[in-house]
C-alpha cells in the first residue's frame, strides 16, 4: 500500500538545481518552508534566491560527473546537513550528435554524458544511503525521461543513460526493500520541458514550474513512478504497441 511522503520540515538536496526543472524545484521547496541544498557546477544563479531565503539555501559547486565531485558532495552533506532526508537526482546533460558521422574525439563526450547522467546519480544515491537510512523517513528521487521508454534519433547516448537510470532506480528500490530500509525510491519520468537541455522545437514544451510541481505532488503521494504530462499517454501507447511509440518519439 502506498504511503504519503510529507515534505514538511525537510532538508532536501537537489542536484542540477541552478537552472531549469531543478531551479523550479528548489524554489517550490523553499516556498514550502524547507531547507534546500543544491549541487551544481555553476551556483551563481542561486545568489538572489539565497538572499531571499537566508539560512535555508546552501549550495556547493561541484562536478557530479566525477567520483571526486560526488565524494565531495557526500562529505559536505554529512558534515553540514546530517538531517538531509530527501535527494532529488535531477542533474543531466544532453549532447545532440549523429553518431554515424561523429568525429573520433566525440568518444570523450560520450563518456562525459554517461558520467553525468547515469554514473553520477547512482553514485550520489549510494554515497548518501547510510545518512538517509538514519532518518525517520527519507526518499531518493531519480529524474528520467519519456526517452527512456522510446528513444529519439538525435540523442542516442542521453536516451541510453535515462533508460539505464530507470533500471537502476527499480533495482535500488528492491535492494532497499530487501534490506528493510524505510526509503522511498521514486522515478520521475519527465516530459519535454521548456529548458535549455533540448533544442528549439515547434513542439509545445511543458513549463518547468509545472513539471516541478507535478514532481513534488507525486512525491507527496508516495508514488514510486511519477509520470509527467504526455509521458502518461506514452506509457499507454508503449504498452499497446512499442513500435508505434518508437515511431512517435524517433524524430522528436
CB-based contacts of 107, cutoff 8 Å, min separation 6: none
How far apart, in whole angstroms, are the C-alpha atoms of residue 153 and residue 173?
A: 30
* Nearest to 5, CA basis, from 82, 64, 86: 86
Three-class SS state of 196: coil
Backbone torsions φ then ψ of 160, nearest 5 degrees: -65, -40
Residue ranges in the chain assigned as alpha helix (H): 20-31, 47-52, 67-80, 106-114, 120-133, 156-178, 208-220, 231-240, 242-250
How far apart, in whole angstroms, are the C-alpha atoms of residue 60 and residue 80?
A: 11
* Nearest to 62, CA basis, from 124, 145, 142: 124
Backbone torsions φ then ψ of 8, nearest 5 degrees: -65, 130
Name the burial class of residue 105, with classes exposed (0-12), middle (13-18) and buried (19+) by CB atoms within 10 angstroms of its CB. Answer: exposed
* Block residue for cell numbers 537510512: 133
Quickly count: other Cβ atoms within 10 Å of residue 181's Cβ: 14
Is 158 marked active-site?
yes
* Nearest to 19, CA basis, from 161, 196, 189, 206: 196
Which of the following is catalytic: 5, 158, 168, 227? 158
Catalytic residue IDs: 158
Amino acid at each position: 500500500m502506498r504511503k504519503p511522503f510529507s515534505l514538511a520540515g525537510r532538508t532536501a538536496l537537489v542536484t542540477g538545481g541552478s537552472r531549469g526543472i531543478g531551479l523550479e524545484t528548489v524554489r517550490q521547496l523553499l516556498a514550502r518552508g524547507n531547507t534546500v541544498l543544491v549541487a551544481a557546477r555553476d551556483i551563481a544563479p542561486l545568489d538572489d534566491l539565497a538572499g531571499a531565503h537566508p539560512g535555508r539555501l546552501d549550495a556547493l559547486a561541484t562536478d557530479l560527473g566525477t567520483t571526486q565531485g560526488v565524494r565531495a558532495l557526500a562529505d559536505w552533506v554529512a558534515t553540514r546537513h546530517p538531517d538531509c532526508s530527501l535527494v532529488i537526482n535531477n542533474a543531466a546533460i544532453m549532447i545532440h550528435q549523429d553518431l554515424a558521422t561523429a568525429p573520433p574525439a566525440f568518444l570523450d563526450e560520450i563518456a562525459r554524458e554517461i558520467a553525468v547522467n547515469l554514473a553520477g546519480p547512482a553514485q550520489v544515491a549510494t554515497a548518501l544511503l547510510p545518512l538517509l537510512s538514519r532518518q525517520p523517513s527519507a526518499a531518493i528521487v531519480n529524474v528520467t525521461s519519456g526517452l527512456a521508454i522510446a528513444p529519439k534519433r538525435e540523442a542516442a547516448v542521453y536516451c541510453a543513460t535515462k533508460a539505464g537510470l530507470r533500471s537502476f532506480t527499480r533495482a535500488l528500490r528492491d535492494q532497499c526493500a530487501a534490506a528493510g530500509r524505510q526509503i522511498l525510491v521514486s522515478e520521475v519520468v519527465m516530459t519535454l520541458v521548456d529548458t535549455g537541455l533540448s533544442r528549439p522545437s515547434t513542439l509545445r514544451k511543458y513549463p518547468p514550474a509545472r513539471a516541478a510541481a507535478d514532481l513534488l505532488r507525486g512525491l507527496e503521494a508516495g508514488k514510486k513512478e511519477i509520470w509527467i504530462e504526455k509521458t502518461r499517454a506514452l506509457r499507454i501507447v508503449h504498452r499497446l504497441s512499442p513500435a508505434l511509440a518508437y515511431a512517435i518519439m524517433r524524430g522528436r
